[in-house]
Structure 1
Amino acid sequence: MPESETQHTRHSVTVKAPAEALFDLVADVERWPCIFPPTVHAERVEQNGSEERIRLWALANGEVKSWTSHRSLDRERLTVRFRQEVSQPPVAAMGGEWVFEPRSDQETVVVLHHDYRTLDDAPEKLSWVRQAVDRNSAAELGRLRDVMEQNDEVGTLTLEFEDSVRVQAPPSAVFRFLEAADRWPERLPHVSRMELREDAPGIQQMEMDTLAADGTTHTTKSVRVCFDGRRIVYKQTQLPKAMAGHTGEWLLREQADGSVLVTSRHVVLIDRRGVAQVLGEKVTVDEAKAIIRTALSRNSTTTLEHARRFAEERSDG
């Protein structure tokens, strides 16, 4: 069947922030997973001046889709054009443009254009794509506004850290432990419940109950992308109130002595309003970062140590 006719959408939001700062944030695609709700993972594949290729994994109507796009960044015109190189069904082709229109030094209208075609003109496919574009555009523009209006620089609200452990075992044994998150309730003391589904190889969606140090239980939802036995990236899609975003990575690197360095990395975007609600009006961003880091690092370190014991016991036996 022939592809559908090209559809066009326009979404916009007014943000109390300079146009250049908004352009910089959208241009920095590797920050997207922690900022934009739909984006699970983003990588810059190659870059040549203002032209680049990026790889994205993103939620669309609850499904994880992945594609590679070409982008053209025009700082003078304050625009970012994008075009998918190979689209995921039911999308046949998609592209668009971010436009940043200054209204003053501290106010900008951000416009997000999309054009797309579906694999055929079936109403259900057109409706599915339109809903995904509308939902994701609204989520991205809304978060862009909220983040930029909370602070002059997103970096002030961002917490990044990592924990590592050295394991005397093959990386495959460690990876098996980290990948099999459905077994975590029986293997990790701080995980009391796990619901995991894998609709496509290496793409996992999980809902987990975690026990905090004070005995309370917290429920989080995450999407994970598992790569080649050496790397798992994830994004929390249901967050504690003090966080506006949380992404992470499990990375396995073989060492010269035959051991494996296993690292847990976190990137957290602090939610100022959430911090005030949960931790109190007087708690500063830096104090909130310290509290969040302690909690996340405790769980990461526990997981790393159990992964080490799991892998080394099987290596010895």
Structure 2
Amino acid sequence: MRLRRVIFGVTTAAVLLVTGVPATAAAPARLSVSGADVVDPAGDPIVLRGYNWGQWGTVQQQDPADNVAAGANSVRIPLRWWGEWKDGVDSRDTDPGNLSHIKPGHLALLDQTVEQASAAGLWITLFVDSDHGQGAGGRPDNFWTNAAMKQQFKEVWQFLVRRYKTKAYVGAFEILPEPQPIGVDDAGVKAFYDEMIGVIRGIDRRTPIVVGPNDNYSCAHLEGAYTTADTKVVYTCNYFIFSEPLNRIGQITGFRTDHDVPVWINQVGVESGDDDARSKARKVLGAFDDNGIGWAWWTYRISGTNPDTHGVYYADPTAPDGWRVKPAWLALVNGYLAA
């Protein structure tokens, strides 16, 4: 099944919302959810396909236009908050006077990145990543055990939603990727998401929200993520490609059919140096296309210098602009963006 893909390049003032009310600066056109479909502002199904700009601070000036020219209609953008990332990536500000809890320089870079994507007409999924908060690596101090940090995380999201609720092409808010708290079952993870949905909906009732399952966004746990807390929810899970590339397609389509809800893959990717990596990638992206499953490729640019890992571009100090492209991978992924 191939669903029609729609890209919008018009100003929000000229777009009618699904309700028929003209979009304005205070109420920009938004995506929505109808049954198992994500729908565009005109109410037509849209399959979101694009890249992750997932490595903090790597976006280049030409990237939005290049993504659009390749056929992308969306992008996934991070803010890293409370984690152990290298090179000063963590945006958490410990100054008690900063009520946003985000370092000003990091916020300025996030604003710039969101503006670049919005100006290009790419639907943005904004996610806040927290290695500590999600319990990564078995960390016992996380959002399920530390009430003070959980409250700060709520305030981060309240700040971001207020900041971007009137920004054109903000497509979805993805609360927290890859939860993996020790000793917390699916119901406990779902309860966290339901609480956070309420926090966001207290400020913005229109923009869709993305949630995923326990166990590091495992597709096998999708059933445990199902919620009735809100109707504008898009579900997600990870799809890093290993030895059996198509082993999760049935889990995704089965969950989507059983609950009549959309599923979009926040991260699909494979390490370039893996055996048969390109063949596996074609199988998975082809299956996504055949089943109308949206996706964001992990990742567009990666800050590491190893050409055999993830990333269509990788860092190379000997290159004129500091980046080296993998031409075969660029052609492969781009070939499925306009499917």
More strand as a share of residues: 1
Pick the TM interval, shorter chain: under 0.3
User: TM-score with structure 1 length normalisation?
Assistant: 0.25
